[in-house]
């Protein structure tokens, strides 16, 4: 059984205590896993998987960093670590809904690592165990607010956020008027205003409440 680590305010900067403990008890390849876009109204859901090969400074929950800081850290993570990205398209999200879509994104990210981890640390709830990990009996642990307190999860959140933001900027060039580059598909006031004017596009998640009365 994995020892639970007491989290205090001073540990809110991501640390390696979880990874270091797992290495001490015999796990060799420890992977951090996180998703981005679960709460968005539009666009794909993306997961990042990262095996940190060395200590990296400056890691934070991706939401606490500026775009420039995320881009810089993402390049550093990719240079020094093993990285896998799992993307679930908007069509798949609409078909599977969020829980299964998140599990699929996790599993694809792990597969794209090209290395099989023997323990996975991920941000979220127990019910979101990656299907790939369950099937292979890989060790797993869900960590509440993991992207704030665990280095490998924070790194995963950064690479996933940078990857998805690029997709949303590209999407903004394909479909005009929704300002995807600005809000990245999340439920901002601007996004709501654009929806009231233009209605729902094929890149939106039709099962969300704001879209129940939107024209198609």
Q: At 135, which CATH number?
A: 3.30.420.10
Mean pLDDT value across residues 139-157: 92
Overall size of the chain counted in residues: 216
For 138, other C-beta atoms within 10 Å of its C-beta total 19
Number of domains in the chain: 1
Question: Does 135 map to a domain?
Answer: yes
Question: Does 171 map to a domain?
Answer: no
Mean pLDDT value across residues 178-182: 95
Question: Does 179 map to a domain?
Answer: no
Instruction: Using the structure block, give the residue that is written with the tokens 């810089």.
Output: 72
Structure confidence at residue 1 (pLDDT)? 40
Mean pLDDT value across residues 31-42: 95
- Rounded to an integer, what distance in angstroms lies between the CA atom of residue 80 and that of residue 52? 7
Question: Does 7 map to a domain?
Answer: no
- Rounded to an integer, what distance in angstroms lies between the CA atom of residue 170 and that of residue 65? 21
- Rounded to an integer, what distance in angstroms lies between the CA atom of residue 24 and that of residue 63? 31
Question: Does 76 map to a domain?
Answer: yes
Question: Does 98 map to a domain?
Answer: yes
Is the full-model pTM beyond 0.85?
A: yes
Question: φ and ψ at 204, to 5 degrees?
Answer: -95, 160
- 89 lies in which domain range? 13-164
Q: DSSP alpha helices (H): ranges in 52-206?
A: 67-80, 90-111, 131-136, 146-149, 151-174, 180-183, 189-198
Question: Does 201 map to a domain?
Answer: no
What band does 3 get if pLDDT is binned at 50, 70 and 90? Answer: very low
Question: Does 126 map to a domain?
Answer: yes
Q: Is 144 a residue whose pLDDT tops 90?
A: no
């Amino acid at each position: 059984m994995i020892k639970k680590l007491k989290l205090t305010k001073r540990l809110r900067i991501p640390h390696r205590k979880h990874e270091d403990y797992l290495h001490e008890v015999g796990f060799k390849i420890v992977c951090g896993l996180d998703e981005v876009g679960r709460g968005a109204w539009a666009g794909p859901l993306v997961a990042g998987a990262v095996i940190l090969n060395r200590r990296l400074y400056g890691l934070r929950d991706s939401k606490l960093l500026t775009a420039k800081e995320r881009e810089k850290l993402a390049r550093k993570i990719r240079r020094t670590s093993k990285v896998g990205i799992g993307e679930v398209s908007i069509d798949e999200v609409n078909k599977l809904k969020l829980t299964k879509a998140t599990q699929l994104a996790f599993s694809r990210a792990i597969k794209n690592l090209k290395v099989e981890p023997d323990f996975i640390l991920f941000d979220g709830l127990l019910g979101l165990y990656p299907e790939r990990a369950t099937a292979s009996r890989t060790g797993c642990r869900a960590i509440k607010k993991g992207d704030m307190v665990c280095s490998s999860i924070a790194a995963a959140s950064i690479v996933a956020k940078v990857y998805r933001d690029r997709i949303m900027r590209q999407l903004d060039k394909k479909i005009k008027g929704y300002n995807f580059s600005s809000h990245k598909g999340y439920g901002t006031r601007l996004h709501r205003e654009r929806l009231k004017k233009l209605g729902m596009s094929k890149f939106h998640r039709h099962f969300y409440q704001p879209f129940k009365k939107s024209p198609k």
